Structure 1
Amino acid sequence: MPLQAVRPKILGFINEQASAWLVALVVLLAGLALTAIVAWAASDLYQQQLRQRFQLLVNERYTRLQERFEDQEQRLNSLRRFFVNSDEVSREEFDGFAQPLLLRTLAYSWAPRVYREQRSQFEQDVSDQGGAPFVIRELNSAGELAPATERDEYVPVLYSQTKSLLSAPLGFDLLAQPLRRSALERAQKTGKLAVSQPMQLVGVEPAYATGVLLVAPVSHLPTSGESQNEPYGYVMAVISIHQLVADGLPKPDRDNLMMQIVDTSDLHKRVLFESGTVESNSDLVGARRLTLGDHVYALNLRPSQVFEQANHSSLSAIMTMGGLLSLLLSALLYVLVSQRQRALKLVEQRTVQLRMREQELRAAHGQLRSVLNAATQVAIIATDLRGVINTFNAGAEQMLGFKAEQVVGTHTLESLHLAVELEARSASLSVALGKRIPASQAMLVESPDNLHEAREWTLVREDGSQLTVNMLATVLLDDHGLWIGHLAIYLDITEQKRAYEALAARDRLLKKLSAHVPGGIFQFTLEPQDNWKFIYASDGMRDIYEIEPGVLQQDAKRVFERIHPLDVERVRASIRLSALQLSHWREEYRVQLPQRGLRWIRGEATPEELPGGGTLWHGYVSDISDLKRVEEELRALSITDSLTGIHNRRYFQDRLRAEMVRLNRTSGALSVIMLDIDHFKRINDRHGHAVGDGVLQELCKRISQRLRRTDVFCRLGGEEFMVLCPHTDGEQAYSLAIELWESLRSAPMEPVGTVTASFGVASWRVDEGVDGLLLRADSAVYVAKQAGRDRVEAERLRA
């Protein structure tokens, strides 16, 4: 019986989809149960192994600590035997023997028993041996060492060997302190090692301050028949519990155990040592007993978090892996059981999708046919692999005059093209690609340097006329990506080509006209986003700015980089003002060119507002450097005396008026020095006007050498000269006039000899005008002339 017939009888009302879920659920539950059993067994085994590892660590730690305690006892016993076997031990012998024993021990000491009647002699003998006063001392009520009070017996520290910076207080009586007295009495009574109660050690770090005193009595060797003699002294070991226990153990962040040592003899159960490790939440506990001398200490050990992290349980991993395996197995069974149902459902779905796809393709084919027929301005032609036309839309019929029935299946794409163009294109492609390209495929093959771009061709209409078009060709692929033909799209560009030719002719004409116009012609725009742009720049712009017109059209800011820094902001502001007011723009400014250096430029343009909100200027720029140079030369000639080269009367009057305006506005000082050459007419009559001109030039040379940079030297006419002295009072001007008078008469002039002049000095007065100041200077010269010439006269001399 087939499975399809059996399953419904077994499952009853449960369909096949539900049976797949049921199988998957049963397998999942079984896997989870098995995982739980394995996890329980693994957990029990883990707890056993964890306790074993903890006990091993506890035993190892206890053994190590007990060995250290016993080592301290052995070292102290060896020091005691050294004293027992020696008649007398000096300080040097004690240091030499005790120093090697200092391992995990702070200090070793020797303290003899001294009775009341022996005290004075004992102190005297020790002082003589050590070379320093020795006194048996004890702590007084203030905590300071003081001479011990009278007692029957003393046990003072005589020798001490330590690694601490603070050595043991020599002479300190151990019987004066209760803890030490109790340890000494127990050692004397038992004759064995005794340990003091915990005490705070002095001179060590706080972490090492808790310690004990291990005491061993020292007696003479008994003779035959005698019992143990009374001790005549004690050797002691000062032990820091932290140093003894923690030395050599792992660091707290790496220790597997949390360790605690408790003094059981203390009623308060004082903790002597506790490690800094973090205790875990485990219930594992290890307890041991450590013995040192006559004391028993409790050692409590617990696992730390380091131990817990190093011995983590694999229970979670087992549960996770078991759950994942159960889930994967159930999913796999579900997939296998429901495979047939999914396959049938998928087939049904694909059938429905294929039917829908067929309907969509039919609709798309109809839409494509409608689009092709609607594109009446574009010719769309499709061919098979042989080039035979199989699609010819209405636009192709209208463009070429053929009917679709005439060309479909009968004509090729080659028959529509001009044969001469195909041959020329075939030859060029064959050279470029390195292989022969047939003329029938020349319109379909793309050149390596012109991929996926439309190309201009000439088509032949039905009536034999020719038509210029742009053609874009591409391959046609089926649903499997196989090449089944070509698609060519043609666009009539006859009118477009005519327009391009007209524009090109206009551009050529404009270029010829601009080439004969001095300077450069431009169109310039300023958009709302402060975007500067040249729409047009003639070749003359290259000569003006030494920048290619093409570069200017790409980046208009290159022009402003050429403008002189002192003029660029003014030019920018004038352009913005012209855009704001739509006013005529005209500016003269300087440019710094890489080759020709500094040049003067004049620019004019007429603005108009653009629809988008920007401004368009039509204008020109020209080089006016020669004009500026002529203007400067004319200006220099207008203010310069042609004979002497110094400033003339016009310049002097302009400067004097400017200084007067300054004085009336800001106050200050101003003086003038007027000089007239003595007997100059006699020089001209005797030596001629040429020699007279030379005298004038030499005088100007000598005077100019003595003037300051701020002074203005001018020729008023004939033999009269004037010196304008800004920021100069009368005293200073008079001193300057004396210097000029001396420089003039100090050396003769060839061939006339010594030439002298009469000087007059005048200083500006408040509310005085130009005429008043010059009149007083002229009067001073007149006084000098009347007084015999060759002198300097000033206002202060006329008082």
Structure 2
Amino acid sequence: MPLHVVRPKILGFISEDVSAWLVAVLVLLAGSILTGLLAWSTYNLNQQQLRQRFQLLASERYSRIEERFQDQEQRLDGLRRFFVNSDHVTRYDFEGYAKPLLRRTQAYAFAPLVSRAQRADFEQAVRREGQPGFAIVQLNAAGQMEPAGDQDDYAPVLYSQTQSPLGSPLGYDLLAQPLRRATLERARVLNGLAVSPPMHLVAVDPAYARGVLLAAPVRRAQDDPSPQARPYGFVLAVISLRQLVADGLPASASDNLSVRILDLSTEGQHEVLYESNNLPVTSHLGASRLLRLADRDYQVEIRPSAAFLHANHSSLTSLVILGSLLSLLLSALLYVLVSQRQRALALVEQRTRELRSREQELRGTHSQLRSVLNAATQVAIIATDLRGVISTFNAGAEQMLGYRSSEAVGHLTLESLHLPQELEAWAHSLSQRYGKPIEVSRAMLVEEGMAGGHEAREWTLVRRDGSHLQVNMLATPVLDDQGLWIGHLAICIDITERKRVHEALAARDRLLKKLSAHVPGGIYQFKLDADGHASFTYASDGIREIYEIEPQVLQENAAAVFERIHPEDVQRVRESIRISAQQLSPWREEYRVCLPQRGLRWMRGAATPESLSGGGVLWHGYISDISDLKRVEEELRALSVTDSLTGIHNRRYFQEQLQNEMQRLERGGGEMAVIMLDVDHFKRINDQYGHGVGDQVLRGLCERIGRRLRRTDVFCRLGGEEFMVLCRDTNARQALVLAEELWQGLRSSPIAPVGRVTASFGVASWREGEGADGLLLRADSGVYAAKQAGRDRVQAELP
């Protein structure tokens, strides 16, 4: 084949005669220019994004610190109001209120204001209240506690709740130290919150010993509200800014920001109250803002850390390197392609001469190919010319159709071997499909897609004796060396026996499908290979309703079924399948499935396994929907533990829960209490208003008490007008508080038409080794004691 005289240009405008080196240099130069423009644009975008990310992080850190400052003020003000609104605050009350407030605060304390004349009596009173050895003390020069000196007033720490392992400095006189005295004086004058200058905190872990003191005066309702008046005392919050600010922040190595807090309240002296462990890096990024805590201003300075720059590093260098490499590689590739193309064109001329010399050799192999065709006795190979006249008829065709080669070659056509009705029907179908007439003689040779490869198709051939033969025939055109169409080649395989087997199998499948369609549920074969792969080798149409999955999907992989099983049941189902496979024991399970359309359903499955030769296991089984049965069981269970009148749990449910809770306590320890209540004068209500109103009163009582119980409490009706509350993780004192709340809520909410309904309450807490009867007897004794004492009351736990 001659080469084209006009050759296409490289890249559309470069002649092929140009040197490959020149093409490579031009491409490298263009790539370098594009890389530089892209790098400049990327650098500007990266700087803008870097500023935006830093401002976002800095604003979030400012907001967090400001929120924590405000939180400290609110907590201390709440502690102050607790003292103001209480007639008398005991140490137990203080610790109970202050302990939940200790988050990010070293300690909370209360210091009453004691005069010189009151000192001795005050110390004696505190010692009698359970603080032996209590005295008003102060720090000496060596940092040791010693008795406070003689002065007009003292502010000793009376109550303290701290998270420091060093304990509380009870008795420490806050007025003995100038900075603390000045802070308390400012709080008194402001009649509000005042914060101290930075100072060394007493009885605080050395890591958090540098901080501030937040104080507020406590004035009782009857005290003079003027700022000059003497307050009752002071409440204080001991704050370490390192703890307050750093709590909850990322580790130093991964924190993106470096924070420093300066105290600006002292003119000319800006002391650093807090500084992050991670040092700031040199950068043009930075932010500063003033925050206020009580009566002092603090300056918060935020700079980016090394972690910030590392997390937001620029990809400019990588981009330049990558762009340069790509430009270099592209130029090298074009150099190789251009040089290879020039060499390839030279080789084409050489190979063309070689191919022509081999053409003669191919002609010599033609006779050998004919011998091979005749040796294929199980396949009919028939070749025709363009008119359809048979030119080749091998030994397999003779044996399959009954014609001798001499009878077929030059005398018969391929069309004459086909069933006429079948060819006509196929030609008509093709004509309608392609919108143009298709000749009957060409119908067997037309491809279904009119383009692309050829596919085998089933045809009916007519033998020499007139009988019919089902074959699978592949018909393809025969081309010469120049690609011209010179004939056709048909290869036929006898499929009579195969079709008979397929028809028998199809009849069996139809029968099985009809049988399974009338069985509720699904019939299946489940296969588990040795490598763990699971699939359904057979699944009836009932599986579609069971799992809402097409059976064809499960034939490849059974994973979709396990995805439908409820998460709480899937592990149990997998384990039961594993045991059945190991022991070859029958498999039976009840489990839940979550379906897209029908929601949660209960299923029951059963199957019998058999071992396969390849190491896998095959189960033959049946699965059905038992949701209705499960629903009936749940309804019966609910009715058996529910009181029909009030709707709450009955005595049976209470006894079950009580036994379960006592078993739990005996195993792992803990606390539990019960509250028993009996409606006062309930017989009188029934006699005066009738039993219908009495039932209404019981339902109203259950509604009012149920609203005030916790979700973990178990509220039951024992019978008649007696009720019981089981309180988990509750001691006697907590149960007494709850009983009093229930009592107050019941007596303060009238029930129509009776009006106010009261009840007598008894409380009992579980004791180690005690049985259920003993616990209930003590609660019943409490109710009896409450009734004996006049009813409408709560009886604390009896000994």
Paired residue type of 2:469: L
Question: 2:546, 2:435 → 1: CA distance?
Answer: 49
SS in 2 for 1:728: coil
Aligned match for 1:471, one of 470, 473, 491: 473
Is residue 523 of structure 2 the alignment partner of residue 491 of structure 1?
Answer: no
- Answer whether contact 1:461 1:467 (CA < 8 A) is retained: yes
1:31 aligns to what?
Answer: none
How many angstroms does 1:567 deviate by?
3.7
Q: Match for 1:386: what amino acid?
A: R
SS in 2 for 1:524: strand
Structure 2 residue 405 is the aligned partner of structure 1 residue 399:
no
CA contact (8 A) 2:595 2:601 kept: yes
2:559 corresponding residue in structure 1: 557
Separation in structure 2 between the aligned mates of residue 454 and residue 350 of structure 1, nearest angstrom? 34
State the partner residue of 1:448.
449
1:723, distance to aligned residue in structure 2 (A): 1.5
Change (3 A) 1:465 1:771: same
After superposition, the Cα gap between the structure-2 partners of 1:413 and 1:780, relative to the gap in structure 1 and judged at 3 Å, is same
Task: Specify the alignment match of 2:593 in structure 1.
Answer: 591
CA distance in 1, matches of 2:416, 2:664: 94
Q: CA deviation at 1:644?
A: 0.6
Letter of the structure 1 residue corresponding to residue 581 of structure 2: A
Segments of structure 1 that go 5 or more residues without pairing to the other structure are 1-345
Q: 1:748 to 1:359 in 2, by over 3 A?
A: closer
> What's the CA shift string for 1:669-727, capped at 9, x where partnerless?
22222222233233323332212211211221222233233221111111221111222
What is the aligned residue count? Answer: 447
Tell me the residue number matched to 1:531: 533
Q: Is residue 690 from structure 1 mapped to residue 692 from structure 2 by the alignment?
A: yes
1:606 alignment counterpart: 608
Deviation of the 1:643 alpha carbon: 0.6
Deviations 1:594-621 (A, max 9, x none): 3333333333333333333333333344
**2:425 maps to what in 1?**
424
Instruction: Name the aligned partner's letter for residue 394 of structure 1.
Output: A
Q: CA 1:747 to 1:463, structure 2 compared with 1: closer, same or farther past 3 Å? A: closer
Note if 1:750 corresponds to 2:752: yes
Q: Measured at CA, do residues 705 and 384 of structure 1 come closer, stay the same or move farther in structure 2, by a change above 3 Å?
A: closer
- Distance in 1 (alpha carbons) for counterparts of 2:446 and 2:733: 100
After superposition, residues 263-274 of structure 1 pair within 5 angstroms as none
Tell me if structure 1 keeps the 8 A contact 2:648–2:715: yes
Equivalent runs, 1:264-663 vs 2, <5 Å: 362=367, 364-365=368-369, 368-369=370-371, 371-448=372-449, 451-477=453-479, 483-663=485-665
Alignment CA distance shift 1:590-1:663 (3 Å): same
Aligned to 2:738: 736
- CA distances 1:51-72 after superposition (whole Å, capped 9, x unpaired): xxxxxxxxxxxxxxxxxxxxxx
How do 1:666-705 residues align onto structure 2 when only pairs under 5 Å count? Answer: 666-705=668-707
Structure 1 CA distance for aligned equivalents of residues 420 and 356 of structure 2: 51
Q: 1: CA distance between counterparts of 2:523 and 2:450?
A: 36
Match of 1:151 in 2: none
Matches within 5 A, 1:54-65: none
Q: Is 1:737–1:759's contact at 8 Å kept on the other side of the alignment?
A: yes
1:709 to 685, 708, 711: 711
TM-score with structure 1 length normalisation? 0.51
Deviation at residue 654 of structure 1 after TM alignment: 0.8
Quick check: 1:758–1:792 contact (8 Å CA) kept in 2?
A: yes
Paired amino acid for 2:381: I
Cα separation, 1, equivalents of 2:442 and 2:539:
44
User: What's the counterpart of residue 208 of structure 1?
Assistant: none
The Cα shift of 1:431 comes to: 4.0
Alpha-carbon separation, structure 2, partners of 1:712 and 1:776: 18
Asked if structure 1 preserves the Cα contact closer than 8 Å seen for 2:479 and 2:486, the reply is: yes
1:384-418 alpha-carbon deviations (Å, 9 max, x no partner): 33322233333323322223333333222222211
> TM-score, normalization: structure 2?
0.51
Does structure 2 retain, via aligned residues, the 8 Å contact 1:381–1:487? yes
Aligned partner of residue 426 in structure 2, secondary structure: helix
CA-to-aligned-CA distance 1:309-346 (integer Å, 9 cap, x gap): xxxxxxxxxxxxxxxxxxxxxxxxxxxxxxxxxxxxx9
Query: What SS does the aligned partner of 1:521 have?
Result: strand
Tell me, yes or no, if the aligned pair for 1:432 and 1:447 is still in contact at 8 Å.
no
Pair member with larger Rg: 1
Closer, same or farther: CA 608–495 of 1 in aligned 2, 3 Å: same
The AA in structure 2 aligned to 1:416 is: L
Aligned match of 1:138: none
Distance 1:571 1:717 in 2: 43
1:234 equivalent in structure 2 = none
Amino acid at match of 2:519: V
SS at match of 1:595: coil
- Partner of 1:772 in structure 2? 774
Q: Please tell me whether the aligned partners of residues 460 and 470 of structure 2 are also in contact (alpha carbons under 8 angstroms).
A: yes
**Contact 2:462–2:468 at 8 Å: present in 1 too?**
yes
Matched letter for residue 445 of structure 2: L
Partners of 2:629 and 2:768 lie apart in 1 by 43
**Counterpart of 1:439 in structure 2: which amino acid?**
V
Aligned residue in 2 for 1:198: none
State the 1:467 CA deviation: 1.8
Letter in 1 for 2:685: I
Deviations 1:453-474 (A, max 9, x none): 1111111122222222211112
Letter in 2 for 1:675: L
- Cα offsets for 1:275-313 (capped at 9, x unmatched): xxxxxxxxxxxxxxxxxxxxxxxxxxxxxxxxxxxxxxx
In the TM superposition, what whole-angstrom CA distance separates every residue of 1:429-464 from its partner, at most 9, and x where no partner exists?
Answer: 344455543323322332326851111111112222
C-alpha distance in structure 1 between counterparts of 2:753 and 2:774, whole Å = 39
CA change 1:593–1:358 in 2 (3 A) is closer
Paired residue type of 2:404: K
Q: Tell me, what secondary structure is at the counterpart of 1:518?
A: coil
Letter of the 2:512 partner, please give it. L
CA–CA separation in structure 2 for the residues paired with 1:705 and 1:661: 28
The structural deviation recorded for 1:657 is 0.8
Q: Which amino acid aligns with 2:495?
A: I
Quick one: which of 775, 783, 792 aligns to 2:785?
783
Give the secondary-structure state (helix, strand or coil) at the position aligned to 1:444: coil
Structure 2: stretches of 5+ with no match in the other structure: 1-352
**Aligned residue for 1:12?**
none
The answer on whether the counterparts of 1:382 and 1:392 sit within 8 Å (CA) in structure 2 is yes
Contact 1:678 1:790 in 2 (8 A): yes
Q: Which moved more, 1:416-425 or 1:379-388?
A: 379-388
CA contact (8 A) 2:533 2:557 kept: no
The alpha-carbon deviation at position 350 of structure 1 amounts to 11
Cα 1:437–1:376 shift into 2, 3 Å: same
Distance 2:435 2:761 in 1: 100
CA contact (8 A) 2:554 2:560 kept: yes
Structure 1 residue identity aligned to 2:609: P
Alignment RMSD (CA, Å):
3.3
Structure 2 counterpart SS, 1:750: coil
The one-letter amino acid paired with 1:429 is L
Give the match's secondary structure for 1:469. Answer: strand
- Alignment CA distance shift 1:462-1:735 (3 Å): same
**1:437 is matched by which residue type in structure 2?**
I
* SS of the residue 2:649 aligns to: coil
Query: Does the C-alpha gap of structure 1 residues 484 and 768 become closer, same or farther in structure 2, counting only changes over 3 Å?
Result: same
Name the aligned partner's letter for residue 489 of structure 1. I
Q: Return the offset for 1:660.
A: 0.9
Cα deviation, residue 769, structure 1:
1.1
| Residue 770 (structure 1) shift | 1.2
Output the CA distance in 2 between the equivalents of 1:663 and 1:356.
Answer: 98
Counterpart residue identity of residue 388, structure 1: V
Q: Secondary structure at the match of 1:703?
A: helix
User: Offset at 1:585?
Assistant: 3.3
> CA offset at residue 766 of structure 1?
1.8
Q: Which amino acid aligns with 1:772?
A: G
- Give the CA deviation at 1:743: 3.2
Cα distance in 2, alignment partners of residues 413 and 488 from structure 1: 9
